[in-house]
Amino acid sequence: EAGVVQSPRYKIIEKKQPVAFWCNPISGHNTLYWYRQNLGQGPELLIRYENEEAVDDSQLPKDRFSAERLKGVDSTLKIQPAELGDSAVYLCASSLGTGGQAFFGQGTRLTVV
């Protein structure tokens, strides 16, 4: 069975440009998370979905970040415009319900120059 799939793996963009990341969770997992991992740090939650509903986006910088999970399966995370401080690894994870163990994708490494 395929794990959590993310694309692209790497992205380099100039500041002020938009960027989008895509995530396909494990089949049947209704809970989806986006985390951001800065260099030398642990992941920090940005947003959590239960099916297609964003039930916690309190840590998402809403002035420039947006996310969607159409049909409760795939999800996209967008940044517009990107800033230098957004350089990080963006991780998607999924679980079978909120109490289930979270499985992570390989992440998208974003570099803003």
Partner 1 sequence: QKEVEQDPGPLSVPEGAIVSLNCTYSNSAFQYFMWYRQYSRKGPELLMYTYSSGNKEDGRFTAQVDKSSKYISLFIRDSQPSDSATYLCAMKGSNDYKLSFGAGTTVTVRA
Q: What residues make contact with partner 1 under the rule CB under 8 A?
A: 4, 6, 31, 40-45, 48, 56, 91, 93, 98-99, 101-107, 109
d(CA 100, CA 30): 10
Q: How far is the CB of 22 from partner 1 (least distance, A)?
A: 15
Asked if residues 10 and 108 have their Cβ atoms less than 8 Å apart, the reply is yes
Q: How far is the CB of 81 from partner 1 (least distance, A)?
A: 26
Q: How far is the CB of 16 from partner 1 (least distance, A)?
A: 27
Q: How far is the CB of 29 from partner 1 (least distance, A)?
A: 13
Indicate the residue among 4 and 110 with the shorter CB distance to partner 1. Answer: 4
- DSSP string for the chain: ----EEE-SEEEE-TT--EEEEEE--TT--EEEEEEE-TTS--EEEEEEETTEEEE-TTS-TTTEEEE-GGGS-EEEEESS--GGG-EEEEEEEESSTTSPPEE---EEEEE-
Indicate the residue among 18 and 100 with the shorter CB distance to partner 1. Answer: 100
Indicate the residue among 17 and 98 with the shorter CB distance to partner 1. Answer: 98
Indicate the residue among 67 and 105 with the shorter CB distance to partner 1. Answer: 105
